[in-house]
Structure formats: C-alpha cells, structure tokens
Structure 1
Amino acid sequence: MIRAGVVGASGWAGVSHLPALAGLDGFEVTAVATTNRASAGKAAAEHGVPLAFADAGALAAHPDVDLVVVSVKAPGHAAVIRAALEAGKHVVSEWPLTVDPAEADELAHAATAAGVVHAVSLQGHHSPDARFVRDLVAAGRVGRLESAVLVAAGDPLGGAVIPAGMEWSTDPAGGTTILTIMAGHFLATLERMAGPLTEMSARLPSRYDTVAVGETGRTVANRVPSQVLLHGTLAGGATASVTVHGGSGTPDGFLVKLVGSEGTLTAGPTRPGVYMHWTDWEIRVGGERVEVPASYRTVPFDPAGGPVANVAAFYQEVGRAIREGRPADPDFHAAARLHRLLAAVERAALSGGAEEVS
C-alpha cells in the first residue's frame, strides 16, 4: 500500500487528487496539510484522513507518508518538493512544476539524486483518448504525419473577466496563465500524440490591460496574455499550428486535426464545457468515427465526471513506477523540458523570430 500525504488539500486537490487516490487500489491517503490547522482538520474530516498538518515539512517527515502530493499554488511548489526530497519521499507535483525553467531543471536533478520516484500531473499524458490517437498515428493509420493543428479554449483565463479569487492569475509571477496552465497542458497532450516540437514562432497577444473581477465591480491590472499562437515543426518533420484562445466563461471545447499522407484524423469533445486533458473524445479517421478500445480505460471513473479519471490514470502510472523501481512518466525531467518549451514560446513572441526547443 502506498501511503500518500496531500499538501494543499482544499480546492483543486479536493476534486481531483483526493478522490482519485481514494478510488484506486494500492493507495491510501494518510495525511493532508493546508496553511493552518483548522482548514487541515476540516479537509481531513471531509475525506476521512487520519493525519492533518499545518506544515508541509512535518507531513513529509511523518513515517506514515510514502508519497508527497504537491497541490499548492505554483510559487509554493519548490519548497514542498524540497521538503519531500529531504525526507526521502516519493513526490508528485501539480503542473507547473515551478515558476522558473532553471529551477525546474534544478528540481529534476535533485529528485533524481534523491533516488525517489518523481512525477508531474499532466493529465492529458494519461488520457486514454490521447494514447489511442498516439497509437493510431504510430501505426500509420493516416500515413506519414504531415501537419498537426490544435485549437482550444483557455477559459476562464485570458478573457475580460476573471473569477473572484483568481486575481493572482493576472500576474506572471503567480505561474497560472493561459500560457503556463492551459497551453502547457494542451501542448503536452498534443506532443503525446504527434511527437515533440523542435522549433517554433509564436505570438502572445494581450487584449486587456485591466480585467474585471467576477461580479464585484472591481478591476485589476492584467500583465498576462489573452491568447497563445504558435507555428512550428515537430521532430518527425510535420508542421504544427496551435491556437489557445482566452475567454471569460466556460470553455467551448477543442479541435485536434492530424493530417497524414494517407488520411486525416480529427478529435473533439463528446460534451460541451470541457478541456481536452479532462474528458473523453470523439475521434474520426477519414470522417468515420473510431471508438477507443475498452482496454485503454483502466480506472474506475467515468470521464464524464471531469478530471478525476485522467488524474487516477496518472496515479496508476506512479504506483507502477514505485513498485517496479523505475522512473515515472512524465517525471520532473519531462516537466523541465515542457518549461523550456514554454520559455521558447515567450522568446519567440518577444523576438518575432523562430526559437529552438532545447
């Protein structure tokens, strides 16, 4: 049994990590930590967890914790990760790994040196639909891949209104923008299917100098982009075109189009209001619908229920890696590489030229 301690047990963790871990064989949530004892105790009571902490270091050091889950705001990730590594514990981090590409590399090397399993929660990497599309492309179902197109909605980021409580997302230092969160997840999913980007040109338009805060009547300064526009080349030579557009409401879905020498594959959501890394897809090859085989769906969760299914699939991989004594996929090194990709997007947008992805 892998005993998990979740740091940042309210908010996102409460609707993703905690239910995913509770629903999987081989895991037990033994501890939670938040910023204060009262909220930690409340989260522990709500989820039936025996231990509650107001200090992440104390959670990481506890002998009843084998795996530390980092689900706090991005600027706080590095400190919790280091506490887990110092305690010799396996560690899972939410994406983004940190707010600085150089620090992401540092954390990846530190985690490897610690000899623990380390992984980053990029749910699209474990989407059964994305894995099935990857296998179709690899098997030559559309011939040689020639171009990949992705259009996706990044709501509620990037629009004229930001939900109350998310004002910090208008500051790049917060690590939660349409580039870092939405484009990060979407690009990781696209690369899972079509292969890595090697170079690109990009634009990061910003439509709003200020944004409204929900229905409060307040406005705040905005220093982050509204859209991510990218044109590039994949490792196999195919071209890639990506548009992630912002909005102030519920995301209106996504479109993936993979054009090959012998056919075209398209994918989109089966229901409205979902992100591509959270849900199941409608996949068509040559206009004919193709069903994802049941063997790709390995968790006891319905993808119609939101992000829990793909988060659970991620934890299945983490569990296998711990039991088999091997690196998890994707690990902190993969996360650091994705940070470098997003940094290349920013450089390309500033220079107006092409940038390579190291």
Structure 2
Amino acid sequence: MIRVGVVGASGWADASHLPALTALPEYELTAVATTRRASADRTAAKYGARHAFTDAGALAAHPEVDLVVVSVRVPEHAAVIRAALAAGKDVLSEWPLGVDEAEAHSLAEAATAAGVRHAVVLQGLHSPSVRHVADLVASGRIGALRSAVLVASGDPFGGPGIPADLAWTLDPAAGASILTIMAGHFLPTLERVAGRLTEVNAWLPRLHERVRIDGTDRYEPNPTPDQVLVHGRLEGGATASVTVHGGHGRAADGFLLKLSGTGGTLTAVPADGLPYPHWGEWDIRIDGEPLAVPDSYRTVPADVPAGPPANIAALYRDLAAAPDFAAGLRNHRLLAAVERSAATGRAQLVA
C-alpha cells in the first residue's frame, strides 16, 4: 500500500488526482494540504484522509506519507518538490515541472541526487486511446508514417478574456501559458503516437495586447502568446504540423489528429465531448473505418470517473513507467526550442 499526501488538494487535484487515488486499492490517501485550514479539513473529510495540513513541508515530513503529489501553481512547484526530496519521499509533480527549463534542470538534478522515485504528470501518455494509436502506428497499420497533424484548442488561454482564477498566468515568469500548459501536454501526446520531434520551426502570435478578467471590467496587459504554431520533423523523417489555437471558454470542437502513412490515414477526434487530447477517449478511424480501443488497454477500475481521473488513475497504476523528471526536463527543452524558433525565425534542433 502506497500512502499518498496531496499538496494543493483543491481545484485540479479535486477533479482528477483525488477521485483517481480513492478508487485504486493499492493507494491510500492519508494526507492533504491546502493554503487554508477550512478547505484542508473539508477536503480531508470528503476523501477520508486522516491528516490535513496548511504547510507542504509538514505534509512531506509526516511518517504516514510515502508519496508526495504536487498540484499547486507552477511557481510553487519547486519549493514543494524540494520539501519532499528533503524528507526522502517519492514525488509526483503536475506538469510543468518548473517555471522554465533552468528550474526543471535543477529539480531533475536534485531528485536524482535524493535517490527517490520521481515522476511528472503527463497523463496523455497513459491514455488507452493514445497507447492504442501508438501501437497501431508502430505495427505498420498505416504503413510508414509520412505526416502528423494536430489541431487542438488551447482554451481558456489565448482569448480576449481569461478566468479570474487564471489571471496570475498573464505573468510570463509564472510558467503557465497556452505554450507551457496546453502545448506542453499536447506535444508529448503527439510524440507518444508519432515519434519524437527532432527539429521545430515555430510561431507564437500574440493577438490580444490586453485581456479582460472575467466577471470584471478590468483589463490587464497580455505578454503571453495566444496561439502556438509548430512545424517540425519527427524521428524517422515524417513531418509534423501542430496548431494550438486560443479562445475564451471551452471549445466545442475539441481536437483533430491526422496521421498519414504510405498505407492509410488514421484520424482521431474526441469521443466523449472532452476537448483536449490528453483528457478523454478518442474516436479512432483508419481510412474512415472506426476502430474500438481493446479492453486490454484499460487498466483502471470501471468505477473511476470518466475524463481526467481515468487517465490520472492509469498513470498511478503505471507509476514505475511514468515519465520521470529527466523526461519532464526534455519536454521543457522541446518548449524552449519552440520559443527560440519563434524569437529568432529559425528552425531549432531539439535535444
């Protein structure tokens, strides 16, 4: 039994990690932490955790916590991760690992030196749909891959307005944007099915100089990109084209993935109304013919709620094979290459 403490046990964690953990018999949620005592106590009572904290260090040091889950705002990741490492605890961090490549590099080095298990939440890599498509492509079902196209929604980032609880992301130093959050999940999901990007040529347009904070008449300067446009080359020589378009609210049409090979074309769109490729089930077709995901790809109990909790639960079930901090650092390097290309107008190799 792995005893888990979740730091930032509200918001996203309440919608994903906590329902997933409480449905998995090999895990026990023993502790939660939020910034307010009332919310910490309320969350602990809701999910049956024995301990509630307002201090991440105290949670990490508690003897009934084996694994620390970091689900706080990106600028706070480093401090919580370092507290877990100092306590000698395994740590699972939400993506992004850090606010930038340099911080991610420092955290990866620290985790390696601590000798604990460390992983990053890129839940699309554990999706049954994603794994099935990856196997279809690898087995040659569409022949040799020649091009990969992904068009996806970056909502709620990149539109003329932004939810009040995300206003903090307008600061580029916060490390949370349509590039780091949305493309930061979409690109590794694409790489899981099509192979790694080895070269990128990118554009990060900023279409809104100022954005309105939802529910107010206040406008704030917007120094972050509104869209992510990437053309690149994949290992094996195929091309890739990725568009992450911004918006205001949840997009109705979700995403489209198109993989063209010498022997056929595979397409995928949302099957369950969830807008992002790393969240839910895919409607998968080869040359127009639908393909069901075999039950063998489904590794979590049937009572795990559909949507984000299901892929998060699959990650926990496969924690030993989850991307570690080194893999998280590589994803940061990919995004840094996208930024350099957009800034210089030149193609960049991806380390």
Q: Could you state the TM-score of these two structures normalised by the residue count of structure 2?
A: 0.97
Aligned partners of 1:335, 1:289: CA distance in 2, in Å?
33
Q: Secondary structure at the match of 1:35?
A: coil
* Corresponding residue for residue 116 of structure 1: 116
Which of residues 306, 321, 335 is equivalent to 2:328? 335
Say which of 326, 337, 340 aligns to 1:344.
337
Cα offset, 1:236, TM superposition? 1.1
Q: Distance in 1 between matches of 2:303 and 2:203?
A: 37
**Match of residue 285 from structure 1:** 286
Identity of aligned residues (%): 65
Deviation (angstroms), 1:40: 1.6
Give the whole-Å Cα distance in 1 for the aligned partners of 2:272 and 2:308.
Answer: 14
* Residue equivalent to 1:229: 229
Q: Distance in 1 between matches of 2:322 and 2:301?
A: 21
Which segment drifts farther, 302-311 or 332-341? 302-311
Please give the alpha-carbon distance, in whole angstroms, between the structure 1 residues aligned to 2:209 and 2:304: 37
- C-alpha distance 259-182 of structure 1, shift in aligned 2 (>3 A): same
| Contact kept in structure 1, 2:274 and 2:307, CA below 8 Å | no
* SS of residue paired to 1:256: strand
Structure 1 residue 304: Cα displacement: 7.5
Give the unaligned 5+ runs of structure 1.
322-327
Q: How far apart, CA to CA, are the structure 2 residues paired with 1:292 and 1:165?
A: 36
What residue identity is the alignment partner of 2:134? Answer: R
Q: Which amino acid aligns with 1:68?
A: V
Q: Please give the residue correspondences for 1:1-358 in structure 2 after superposition, counting only pairs within 5 Å.
A: 1-251=1-251, 252-301=253-302, 305-318=306-319, 321=320, 328-358=321-351
- How many corresponding residue pairs? 350
Counterpart code for 1:106: S
Deviates more, 1:298-307 or 1:332-341: 298-307
| Conserved? CA contact 2:57–2:83, under 8 Å | yes
Which AA in structure 2 matches 1:108? A
**AA matched with 1:235:** E
Tell whether the 8 Å contact from 2:23 to 2:303 is kept in structure 1 after alignment. Answer: no
Alpha-carbon distance between aligned partners in 1 of 2:183 and 2:144, rounded to the nearest angstrom:
26
**Could you say if the C-alpha distance between residues 341 and 173 of structure 1 is closer, same or farther in structure 2, counting changes exceeding 3 Å?**
same
Q: Which amino acid aligns with 1:112?
A: T
Q: CA RMSD in A?
A: 1.3
- Structure 1 distance, partners of 2:186, 2:263, is 25
Are the equivalent residues in 1 in contact too, given 2:148–2:238 (CA < 8 A)? yes
1:306 Cα deviation from its structure 2 partner: 2.1
TM-score when normalising by structure 1: 0.95
Is the alpha carbon distance of 1:104 and 1:250 closer, same or farther for their aligned partners in structure 2, counting shifts above 3 Å?
A: same
Measured after TM superposition, the shift of residue 302 of structure 1 is 7.0
After superposition, the Cα gap between the structure-2 partners of 1:289 and 1:184, relative to the gap in structure 1 and judged at 3 Å, is same
Separation in 2, partners of 1:112, 1:302: 36
Q: Which runs of 5+ in 2 are unaligned?
A: none
Aligned mates of 1:289, 1:112 — CA distance in 2:
44
* In 1, Cα distance between equivalents of 2:217 and 2:68: 40
Structure 2 distance, partners of 1:266, 1:38, is: 47
- Offset of residue 273 of structure 1: 4.5
In 1, are the aligned partners of 2:23 and 2:304 still within 8 Å (CA)? no
Q: Is the 8 A contact 2:19 2:304 kept in 1?
A: no
